């Protein structure tokens, strides 16, 4: 059976998340329905990440299997066309080995969080960034973020609905920088817990506002208690940037 790997870009606002739900539209259902219309086959989409409602993607990797052969370029073009006007685009479609898996073969995931640090209301970026009106000290945020880098028990930064077998994860990189009136937080790891990035960003924003210090963030991490979380950032500022695989 040919296996097709997709690279998807999407605006998460209209969806209930990536994974198929019994109520409301999801990214998985949109792609699977488009694949059925194009190929006449029922497929199951597997993705590198299970993004929440409102979370966006610049390069989500996913795959599905078909019985018949299709030209990858034409298949990707047809899927994009059939999903209009939903805000989903197939950036790339290619044949891969049948043992390649979008989720289980993935060796790294990168997220980006965008904060619009300004007082004026958002217009063009409404739903695409978290607006924080108070000035943020990005140097303090980046310095504090280093407390979270490495192997830790991230229970404090884990949703109560997280299905991961363990709260222990290795965070490879957490960096904060400013671009004009935007604060960008980049997070890299092999895998993340449910809400981990949003929870880390929320606490870093408290540091940036001067309401928390680096030691407060360290104490929250050591507490291993979700009740010690300072703030969970909203979904609209979060982007799945890329997934990495051996040989790529």
C-alpha span between 166 and 100 (Å, rounded): 25
- What torsion do the CA atoms of 46, 47, 50, 51 make, to the nearest 10 degrees? -130
The ranges of the chain annotated as CATH 3.30.70.660 are 108-244
The ranges of the chain annotated as CATH 3.30.70.580 are 3-96
Q: Which CATH topology does 108-244 take?
A: Alpha-Beta Plaits (3.30.70)
CATH of domain 3-96: 3.30.70.580
- Report the candidate in 108, 204, 227 with the shortest Cα–Cα distance to residue 158: 227
Report the chain's terminal Cα–Cα distance, integer Å: 23
Residue 23 has pLDDT above 90, yes or no: no
- Report the candidate in 202, 20, 234, 199 with the shortest Cα–Cα distance to residue 128: 234
Report the catalytic residues: 52
Q: Given pLDDT bands bounded at 50, 70 and 90, which one contains residue 230? A: very high
List pLDDT tens digits, range 33-88.
999 999 999 999 999 998 999 999 999 999 999 999 999 999 999 999 999 999 99
The HSE-up count of residue 247 (CA atoms within 13 Å, CB side) is 4
Query: What pTM was estimated for this model as a whole?
Result: 0.95
* Positive or negative torsion for Cα 30, 36, 39, 42: positive
């Amino acid at each position: 059976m040919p296996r097709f790997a997709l690279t998807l870009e999407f605006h998460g606002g209209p969806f209930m998340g990536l994974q198929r739900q019994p109520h409301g539209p999801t990214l998985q259902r949109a792609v699977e329905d488009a694949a059925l219309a194009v190929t006449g086959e029922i497929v199951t989409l597997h993705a590198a990440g299970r993004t929440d409602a409102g979370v966006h993607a610049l390069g989500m990797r996913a795959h599905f299997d078909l019985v018949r052969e299709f030209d990858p370029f034409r298949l990707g073009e047809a899927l994009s066309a059939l999903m209009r006007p939903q805000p989903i685009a197939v950036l790339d479609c290619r044949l891969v080995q049948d043992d390649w898996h979008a989720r289980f073969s993935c060796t790294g995931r990168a997220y980006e969080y965008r904060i619009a640090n300004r007082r004026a209301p958002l217009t063009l970026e409404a739903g695409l960034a978290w607006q924080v009106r108070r000035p943020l000290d990005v140097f303090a945020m980046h310095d504090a973020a280093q407390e979270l880098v490495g192997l830790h028990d991230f229970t404090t930064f884990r949703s109560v609905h997280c299905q991961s077998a363990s709260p222990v994860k290795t965070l490879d990189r957490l960096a904060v920088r400013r671009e004009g009136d935007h604060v960008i937080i980049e997070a890299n790891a092999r895998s993340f817990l449910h809400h981990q990035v949003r929870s880390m960003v929320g606490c870093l924003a408290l540091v940036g506002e001067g309401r928390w210090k680096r030691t407060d963030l360290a104490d929250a991490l050591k507490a291993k208690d979700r009740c010690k979380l300072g703030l969970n950032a909203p979904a609209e500022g979060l982007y799945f940037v890329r997934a990495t695989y051996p040989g790529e």
